[in-house]
Amino acid sequence: MGKIIETTDISREYRMGSEVVRALKSVSIEVNKGEYVAFMGPSGSGKSTLMNIIGCLDTPTGGKYILNGKDVSDMTENELAEIRNKEIGFVFQTFNLLPRASCLENVALPLVYAGFSRSRREEQARAALESVGLGDRVTHKPNELSGGSGSAWPSHGHL
């Protein structure tokens, strides 16, 4: 299987006044197509920083990041936005859903930016919701979708 994500000696430093905070130091990983990966560690260990870099929300201060064969380490904000639109999908811990939009509208929204027609967006969003067991919840608002046990969210790990 081919490499989807490859980082080599990724580092990320932040300046806080005169102090330099090293959020990541020389992180090298490989993720192959079809693999599932978890980043685990104590609070402050750099998990969110690494995810922000892998998700093209931030850039490393050192090292190299190859995503699907493209070096994204030094891309501009516009180039990173294009990569996020075409290559990356996010499921945020806090969901970041639009509260007044239906489940279907929330799932279809990114397809607007990808240039899909309205009917194609709805078709794709319905299929995605069906695939995770939420096909019967397309008209529900985010506050009508529980995240707790016994909830509407499927337990088979697709989200």
Give the model confidence (pLDDT) of 58-76 as tens digits: 899 999 999 999 999 888 8
Q: Are residues 29 and 66 in the same domain?
A: yes
Q: What is the domain count for the chain?
A: 2
| DSSP per residue, 57-101 | SS--SEEEEEETTEE-TT--HHHHHHHHHHH-----TT----TTS
pLDDT number for residue 156:
43
Give φ, ψ of 122 to 5 degrees.
-65, -40
Q: Are residues 56 and 10 in the same domain?
A: yes
pTM of the model as a whole: 0.65
| 70/64 Cα distance (integer angstroms) | 10
The last residue of a domain, from among 34, 53, 87: 87
Domain ranges, residue 126: 94-159
